[in-house]
Chain A
Amino acid sequence: MMTGMMPGTKILRRWLILLISVPVLAFAAIDVYEFDTPEQEARFRSLTQELRCPKCQNQSIADSDADISGDMRMRTAEMIREGHTDREVVDFFRERYGDFVSYRPPFDATTLLLWLGPGIVLLAGGILIVRLLRRANAAADAEADNEEDEDL
C-alpha cells in the first residue's frame, strides 16, 4: 500500500513514537529504598531474590511487578532497617503466606523427598555404575585370562 503521501502517516508516526516510549516510562517507575549501610542493601537484594511472589508464582518479589510484591519489598526493607534478621523476615512472610513464599523450603516431613531425593538418586546411580563397571572389568579380566591361556 502506498500511503506515504497521506496525512495519516504523520499521525501513525506519532503513535509509533508514543508506543516506543511506553517501556521507557515503565522503567522510570522503579521504587527507591534507602538503607543505612551497604550491608543492609545487600541483605535486601538477597532476601527479595529468595522470597517468592504469591501472585505470580514463578517470580521472586525482586523480579515481580505485581502490587503485592511491591508491598512485600517495602515490608522487607522496613524490617531490615528496623534491625530484624533475615530469618525473622522470612518467618514473617512464611507465617502469612505459608512455606510457598520462600524459595528455600524448610526441611520437614512433607519436604523430605524434595531435599533428599536428588541425593538418593545420585547415590543409587553411583552404586549402579560401580557395579556395572566391576562386572565389565571382571568379564574383561576373564577374557584376558582366556587369551593368555590360549597363547601359552
Chain B
Amino acid sequence: MSRYLWGLIPLFIFAALALLLNDGLGRDTETLPSALVGRPVPEFELPAMASAQDSYDQSIFTGRWSLLNIWATWCPTCYVEHPYFIELARSGVAIVGLNYKDNDDKARNYLAELGNPYTEVLVDKRGTLALDLGVYGAPETFLINPEGKILLRHAGEVNARVWEEKFVPLMADGMADYRAQQGGPQ
C-alpha cells in the first residue's frame, strides 16, 4: 500500500508544479508593477513648456485629482491616445503633461496641431523626473490623488476601456474615502 503512495509522489509534484506554472502563463510580463504606487510624487522642479522662465514643482499635484501623462513626439502610441486625452480634458479631468526627452519646437507644433489637453506641460529633457517615477518609456500615465499620492501607473495607451477599468474605480474609492473622512467626525 505504502509503495503505491510513494509511486504517486512524482504525480503530486507534477500537479503542484503545473498549478504553480499555470498561474504564470498568459501573465503580462511587459508591464511591471510600479514601486511608487501609494507614495507621493517625487520632488522635482522642471521648466514649463509655455515659458522657459516658469517652472513647476510637485505642489501642482495637490488639491485636485490629476493625471500625469508622459508623452513625446517620437512616441507613436502618444498620437493614438492623444484624442482620448482631449476628450478627458473636455470632461474636466486635470491632465499634467510631461514632455519626455523631446525637442521643444516639435512638441509645441504637436500641441498646436493636435490640440492641448494638458493643464500644465513640464519639460523633462534629461528624463530626471521620469527616472524618479520609474518610467521606462512613453506613453505612461499616473493617477494622482488630491494629497499628491500616486494611486496607479499605467504603461501604454489610455483609452475608454482602460480609463473605465483601471482609473475610474480607484477615483471612486478615493472619493468615498475622502467623503468618509469629511463626514466622519460629525
Contact = CB atoms under 8 A, between A and B. Distances in A.
A98 B131 contact: no
Contacts of A100: 32-33
Nearest to A100: B32
B128 to A, nearest CB: 9
Most buried by B among A57, A94, A98: A98
Contacts, number: 38
Interface of B: 29-30, 32-36, 101, 126-127, 131-137
Interface residues of A, number: 15
Nearest to A53: B136
Nearest to B127: A71
Interface string A87-101: 000000011111010
Given A55-B136, A68-B136, A68-B137, A98 B32 contact: yes
Contacts of A95: 35
Contact of B136 (A75, A94, A97): A97
Contacts of B30: 57
A34 interface: no
Contact of A55 (B33, B127, B137): B137
Contact of A96 (B29, B33, B134): B134
A67 interface: yes
B32 A96 contact: no
